[in-house]
Structure 1
């Protein structure tokens, strides 16, 4: 046990090494990270890359967890730049944000109805209640929104206070959804029929819709878009629907875009496809699906996509061994072995198994620096935190950091070897709702 004798031994050991006091003073002044910062690492990130894709201007998600939306739309707009013949372009992130909140509410309430026979104190229901209206998401969830609702230019549905500052809106809707969950469970316990529960759910969804329109604005069903192209020529696109705009000015076949993950844990064999129970946003969409592959397969697909000028949506644990100010993500960034005695030592699989790491943020791979053998040195990353971080919003990620903290990419099937696509022909393995691969990208 901890007693006075043990504390005295600890104190004696600490004071016997004079460097401890110097480190203590440094940490007290600037904090653990700055005191441990390895300045040499800066030299390994010149922000020059041998292969780059097109990209638009840096975007800013501000105080919201919409990184997965920003990353997806920043990827999509590369095709729009060519089709519209413009220097830069930005999609409305508020538009899918509105529909995701409404669809997410429907998905949650439907899950509550499905689980009315489950105990309230059980892990499943408590998991559903924990964060029913998160800003975060994954690639397949956004693909479902694109299929159903399309996309619009930013000027058609611009930002509002609550799209850029979602905290208060989320807090209110979270409380209301939990209230609605109690109402539905109580009604079911009192003998309400399925039709009666569905009618109650529809009234609840109208309340959510009403709140969202007031907070985010009314989403358009059709619109007119005016712009000048790079040759200063004026254009007017009249009375087009969001779905038609997406098809005409992005044109992706969403069925061909596949999510690859790297989860090297014993419970998830490579070469199989996985889904996560009770994870989704558009209720009628097919469940999320991703193929677990080794890191080298993940990287080869990303490199092939970049070489073909197709940027890559990816999800990672951005807060680990990274520096927001310099925009560097590198395993050698902090020398905790020198300041604190030892670094963290779990490997990627153990970090997942023991809850030390998971997907937290989505960004876009828009370049890679390859050596003479075609191996990646550093990756060029387009973030959505504005221009005041990194190199005007661009981050540099070492290949070793990619190995350890990148968990997911979304790429066209043509960049994936057929041997790994065969996983889509096998039965999908269902993961529990609380599995780490069900984590949502939502870091601000």
Structure 2
């Protein structure tokens, strides 16, 4: 039996003894399609838009020239970093590149290095990140070995045993444990520039390991035997990483000339010695993750963490976020910039962005008029609906202030200066409008001394609310 036009009445029968449930199912009918066709034929403006989009694409057709050219000039009243940008290429380690850019800035400043002559090795951190993620995966597989393969948690683990994602807290943990080295001591390789093939090999290997570990638990093997299995498995992961990246150096030589052409040499340093000697004064553990995630589900002035976020086993640094209002978060950022120091941050760079021009602006694309639609969701609703999540980490290198209020922000990206022969931003730097910052910046790494005492105490002692592993804030989905 059909209801008028488009609605089909469907009866769902419950078990005997339970009340019968009736629900309506709307079917897309021929009449609906005719109404849609008639409506589009009347939409004359969209016929013009159709020609533009079919020939040029959506963004090129919707871009406002006044925003792309006139409004976003690369001039900032506070400008703390103009160093040459790094290039992560086809590797998803933006969090690592941005973190090392932050540390590089301190080394360049402290040693008076010439512009663009120094870089820290991203491959060094990535090597140990892959190893630590493999260890976390094995630990979790053993922990939930009694659950079936259809269990959501087990499915989550097996869907992506490891990958490139990360966050500021894991970066701090890695650097504190393994140190850093100059780029020349451990340069990029083909797999570090494009991690797709390496990730496929590691995921396949770890799934093999998961099968063996689950069988071992089911057969009643004791913890010591499981640990021995894991050590053998991790040895294989280490071997794969050495083949792909080369074996990481145990000691490095650091030779450089400063801006005054003076030669310096520091030989035979371990990665941790290098880190503590040249970056110890930064006191990286003092930088904490401050976030802005609005909405009733995430009350401000609370601390949050995430279940199963691939944390380093036995590490001293754990994933921990302090959620505050955006005005307060921006105040912390401005304080750090005014003190002459850049800021690591995470945002949704996929939104309202022109990567070639290097512009991040809410008014950049007029897609509402292009399609005759209306966008109504706010930041909290976009996050709740999966429309916007943190997707990329970069560094805030400056800000333009008018009457002491931010108008636009200088962003140091890690995508190089060109891609496919076309420029990437302003020599790799982007410009973000203040409205874009409000809507799409989610996390910043702030020196704890810039936080008031009550928030420092809350970060240190507050009981963290635990988000599930499928939460959009998880850096390792």
Bigger Rg, structure 1 or 2: 2
Q: CA deviation at 1:55?
A: 4.3
Query: Is residue 121 from structure 1 mapped to residue 156 from structure 2 by the alignment?
Result: no
Give the distance between the partners of 1:306 and 1:280, measured in 2 at CA: 31
Equivalent pair of 1:99/1:145 in contact (CA under 8 Å): yes
Matches within 5 A, 1:6-405: 6-42=32-68, 43-87=70-114, 88=116, 89-251=118-280, 252-285=282-315, 286-372=317-403, 374-388=404-418, 389-405=424-440
Equivalent pair of 2:311/2:319 in contact (CA under 8 Å): no
Q: CA deviation at 1:106?
A: 0.6
Give the distance between the partners of 1:358 and 1:226, measured in 2 at CA: 42
Q: CA deviation at 1:168?
A: 0.3
Give the distance between the partners of 1:46 and 1:82, measured in 2 at CA: 26
SS of corresponding position for 1:332: coil
Deviations 1:144-183 (A, max 9, x none): 0010011000000000000001100001111111121111
Q: CA deviation at 1:119?
A: 2.5
Equivalent pair of 1:280/1:287 in contact (CA under 8 Å): no
Deviating 4+ runs (over 3 angstroms): none
SS of corresponding position for 1:104: helix
Q: CA deviation at 1:330?
A: 0.5
Q: CA deviation at 1:84?
A: 2.2
SS of corresponding position for 2:445: strand
TM score, norm. by length of structure 1: 0.97
Give the distance between the partners of 2:72 and 2:436, measured in 1 at CA: 13
SS of corresponding position for 1:278: coil
Give RMSD over aligned pairs.
1.3
Return 204-213 or 246-255, whichever deviates more.
246-255
Give the distance between the partners of 2:377 and 2:93, measured in 1 at CA: 29
Where relative contact order (Cα < 8 A, 6+ residues apart) is larger, the structure is 1
Give the distance between the partners of 1:303 and 1:440, measured in 2 at CA: 29
Where structure 2 has 5 or more consecutive residues not aligned to the other structure, the ranges are 1-26, 419-423
SS of corresponding position for 1:60: coil
SS of corresponding position for 2:127: helix
Equivalent pair of 2:309/2:476 in contact (CA under 8 Å): no
SS of corresponding position for 1:239: strand
Return 339-348 or 148-157, whichever deviates more.
339-348
